[in-house]
């Protein structure tokens, strides 16, 4: 038994899921006790009175870029950013170089995550070889690898061939896997630069119609129901998409969906600035879409928040709109945006936040050890938040290697003060712990 196995930490006065203050004793990798007036000999005592204690956050949709684009992000820098944002587990998307479409590549990403020590990394396997949409990748081999892949996605590209999509759904059904679809009908989005609507017409930019997303979602929920498999819809962005998912769920079909923090806050009106920081896939939509997404997250139609953390180097974003890469970073600001859009507006309480940012994404990804109750005997994967904090976003201080955030200079609420991964602090007083151990 090592020292880390026996170390004790006592969190004094934490508001568990926003409730009444409690003391929480962490012993080794697990929560040992939750109550009032707790004491423990030899424990490190941290006064966290008034702070919100949540189960460690889980992201279903992170781009860590390694292997291949380490100039944007590495597994180490990405997991450091995740820890700062309160995450204890992330799913790393497959659009790396080489693509994560073999057991070898997913095992490489998985091992790099273990070595980082800041956050569990669960690789997402590609659905098709090279993300080309023509031939199924080695789904079974990735499932049987050390990484134990359960989520598969060609994210960044849509699996637009209905037969390939059907075969993928049938294949993963055998081991309770899930296909996470990037819903984008390719022909309808040729040359698209932003949301199709009044703003795109006035700016003269190619429009990205809502139906390009909605038509794929409608097809795929029908396919998933037909074969009795699980489908997960990535980054929902339109009110119409919400209605399709709501209808599918009313049928009892096994459909889940996610929304990004930026689609809960930002609209296509921001594109009038021509600042490429707002260029993202799917594009920012209208105010009506934003309101529909918030309501759907609140009522559970949308299952979870996922960051779609998409780091890019300076040269890929600081250029003219048409040449700029799509995407924005989001791990370090996600919880603040959710507090701003969902909690401070009264749409969700902190129990709801724990459900949408930890419990449900863990269940969709079939993770064990994450998204668990904060109770004696449970794994000590925990996040502490000072919800009273207000601060201006300054990307210069990001742990991520990239800085392409749309929130620079914006005042947002909430600050993660501590993150614990299996009882070990990865963030202390808002700063990265220097030497987390795998």
Banded model confidence at residue 2, pLDDT cuts 50, 70, 90:
very low
Residue pLDDT, tens place only, 388-405: 999 999 999 999 999 999
For the chain, what percent of residues have pLDDT higher than 90? 97
Catalytic residues: 308
How far does CA 255 lie from the centroid of its chain?
17
For residues 7 and 335, the model is more confident at 335
- Region 305-320: what's the mean pLDDT? 96
| pLDDT bucket at 343, cuts 50 / 70 / 90 | very high
Summarize the confidence of residues 196-201 as an average pLDDT: 98
399 close to 409: Cβ distance less than 8 angstroms: no
DSSP letter at 239 equals: H
- Average pLDDT in the chain: 96
Name which of 130, 61, 115, 129 is nearest 310 in CA terms: 61
Per-residue buried b or exposed e for 102-123, using 16+ beta carbons within 10 Å of the residue's own CB: bbebbbbbbbbbeebbbbbbbb
Q: Is 400 helix (H, G, I), strand (E, B) or coil?
A: coil
Q: How confident is the model at residue 316 (pLDDT cuts 50, 70, 90)?
A: very high
Predicted confidence at residue 40, as pLDDT, reads: 87
Structure tokens, 429: 């007083």
| pLDDT tens-digit series, residues 367-426 | 999 999 999 999 999 999 999 999 999 999 999 999 999 999 999 999 999 999 999 999
Above pLDDT 70, what percent of the chain?
98
> Does residue 281 surpass a pLDDT of 60?
yes
The mean-pLDDT minimum among 36-45, 55-64, 187-196, 304-313 falls in: 36-45
Mean pLDDT of 218-247: 98
The mean pLDDT value for 205-224 works out to 98
Q: Is the confidence at residue 334, as pLDDT, over 80?
A: yes
Place of tokens 């990484």: 147
The reported pLDDT for the residue numbered 434 is 83
Q: Tell me what pLDDT residue 320 has.
A: 95
Per-residue pLDDT of 120-136, as tens digits, reads 999 999 999 999 999 99
What CA–CA distance (Å, rounded) separates 203 from 238?
21
Q: If you search the block for the tokens 């689609």, which residue do you land on?
A: 263
**436 pLDDT more than 80:** no
> From CA 36, how far away is CA 19, in angstroms rounded?
13
Mean pLDDT of 63-81: 97
Kindly state the helix (H) or strand (E) to which residue 4 belongs, with its residue range: helix 3-6
Q: Is the pLDDT of residue 162 over 90?
A: yes
Q: Is 241 exposed, middle or buried (CB count within 10 Å of its CB: 0-12, 13-18, 19+)?
A: buried
Q: Residue 155 carries which DSSP code?
A: T
In DSSP terms, 421 is beta-bridged to: 424
Q: What is the pLDDT of residues 3-16, one digit of tens each?
A: 445 789 999 999 99
């Amino acid at each position: 038994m090592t020292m880390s196995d026996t170390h004790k930490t006592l969190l004094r006065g934490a508001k568990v899921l926003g409730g009444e203050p409690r003391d929480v004793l962490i012993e080794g990798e697990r929560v040992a006790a939750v109550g009032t007036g707790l004491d423990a000999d030899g424990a490190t005592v941290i006064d966290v009175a008034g702070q919100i204690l949540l189960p460690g956050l889980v992201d279903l949709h992170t781009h860590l870029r390694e292997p291949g684009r380490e100039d944007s992000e590495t597994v180490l820098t990405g997991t450091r950013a995740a820890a700062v944002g309160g995450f204890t587990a992330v799913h790393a998307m497959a659009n790396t170089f080489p693509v994560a479409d073999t057991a070898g590549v997913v095992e490489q990403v998985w091992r790099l995550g273990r070595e980082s020590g800041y956050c569990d990394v669960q690789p997402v396997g590609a659905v098709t070889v090279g993300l080309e949409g023509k031939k199924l990748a080695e789904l079974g081999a990735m499932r049987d690898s050390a990484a134990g892949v359960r989520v598969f996605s060609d994210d960044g590209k849509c699996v637009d061939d209905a037969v390939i999509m059907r075969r993928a759904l049938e294949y993963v059904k055998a081991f309770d896997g899930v296909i996470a679809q990037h819903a984008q009908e390719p022909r309808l989005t040729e040359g698209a630069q932003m949301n199709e609507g009044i703003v795109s017409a006035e700016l003269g930019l190619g429009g990205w119609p809502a139906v390009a997303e909605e038509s794929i979602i409608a097809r795929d929920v029908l396919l998933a129901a037909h074969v009795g498999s699980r489908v997960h819809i990535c980054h929902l962005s339109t009110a119409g998409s919400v209605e399709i998912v709501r209808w599918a769920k009313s049928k009892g079909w096994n459909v889940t969906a996610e929304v990004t923090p930026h689609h809960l806050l930002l609209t296509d009106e921001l594109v009038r600035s021509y600042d490429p920081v707002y260029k993202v896939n799917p594009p920012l939509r209208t105010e009506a879409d934003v309101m529909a997404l918030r309501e759907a997250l609140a009522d559970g139609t949308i299952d979870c928040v996922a960051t779609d953390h998409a780091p890019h180097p300076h040269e890929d974003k600081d250029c003219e709109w048409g040449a700029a890469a799509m995407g924005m970073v989001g791990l370090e600001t996600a919880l603040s945006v959710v507090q701003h859009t969902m909690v401070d507006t009264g749409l969700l309480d902190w129990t709801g936040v724990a459900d949408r940012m930890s419990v449900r994404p863990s269940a969709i990804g079939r993770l064990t050890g994450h998204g668990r109750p904060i109770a004696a005997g449970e794994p000590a994967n925990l996040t502490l938040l000072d919800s009273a904090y207000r601060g201006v976003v300054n990307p210069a201080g990001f742990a991520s290697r990239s800085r392409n955030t749309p929130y620079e200079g914006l005042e947002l609420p909430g600050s993660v003060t501590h993150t614990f991964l299996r009882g070990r602090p990865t963030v202390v007083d808002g700063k990265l712990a220097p030497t987390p151990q795998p």
